[in-house]
């Protein structure tokens, strides 16, 4: 969004000074009667009171957040995602993509393999004193693993997703050896993340994932967090 240049006022003042000093303009050409000046000021004051300039509501600048392509259940966590992403030095849209596919924003989600919470973290990633379903704790453990996977994959988000789903150890193997689940994970995760970064407002990839795999997951998440 364009903004007015900070030196606009300085430009106006410089122009006014030039006019007063005279450079072939009206300055010094004639003397305006005092009565005319006073009458003009009075009329201007009355005009201001009758037709004041419309007020302008200055809205605060938007903070960097997640893309609007994500489901409402994930956008519900937008402020937390921004906080967690900053703490983990990750792209908020990457974090949101993982949450979308893993739990659709359900903090109490449990998989058949025992993964828990918003980021479907396996039990062995938690400390004995951790509450796996506490959102901040779940995010800290899950995103620590995502960060490690991203680093192992040389900063490639697609590889980071594969490592997050299938275990970082698979990144040293040929993709042909990856499980069908991991291949499906990146089949949807990679284009969803690309769409989130592109600035578009609708993702065909996310919609396809939702229709095939996410309907019941997101319905449960919506009920859990109390969305209408």
- Residues tagged active-site: 102
Q: In terms of Cα–Cα distance, which of 223, 180, 216, 198 is closest to 69? A: 198
Q: In terms of Cα–Cα distance, which of 115, 117, 167, 176 is closest to 146? A: 167
- 70 vs 135: CA distance, rounded Å: 19
Task: Tell me if 123 sits within 8 A of 116, measured CB to CB.
Answer: yes
Residue 56 burial by Cβ neighbours in a 10 Å radius (0-12, 13-18, 19+): exposed
Task: Tell me if 82 sits within 8 A of 63, measured CB to CB.
Answer: yes
The structure tokens listed for 113 are: 């393999």
- 84 vs 112: CA distance, rounded Å: 26
Residue that the structure tokens 């578009």 belong to: 200
């Amino acid at each position: 969004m364009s903004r007015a240049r900070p030196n606009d006022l300085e430009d106006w003042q410089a122009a006014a000074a030039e006019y007063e000093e005279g450079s072939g303009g009206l300055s010094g050409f004639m003397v305006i009667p005092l009565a005319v000046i006073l009458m003009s000021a009075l009329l201007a004051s009355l005009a201001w009171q009758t037709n004041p300039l419309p007020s302008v509501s200055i809205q605060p600048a938007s903070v960097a957040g997640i893309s609007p392509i994500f489901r409402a259940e994930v956008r519900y966590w937008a402020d937390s995602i921004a906080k967690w992403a900053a703490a983990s030095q990750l792209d908020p849209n990457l974090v949101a993509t993982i949450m979308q596919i893993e739990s659709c924003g359900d903090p109490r989600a449990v998989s058949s393999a025992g993964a828990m919470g918003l980021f479907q973290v396996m039990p062995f990633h938690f400390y004995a004193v951790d509450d796996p379903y506490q959102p901040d704790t779940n995010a800290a453990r899950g995103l620590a693993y995502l960060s490690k996977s991203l680093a192992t994959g040389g900063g490639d988000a697609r590889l980071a997703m594969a490592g997050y789903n299938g275990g970082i150890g698979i990144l040293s193997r040929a993709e042909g050896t990856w499980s069908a689940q991991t291949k499906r994970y990146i089949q949807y995760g990679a284009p969803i993340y690309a769409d989130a970064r592109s600035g578009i407002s609708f993702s065909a990839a996310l919609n396809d994932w939702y229709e095939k795999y996410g309907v019941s997951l997101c319905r449960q998440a919506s009920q859990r967090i109390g969305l209408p």
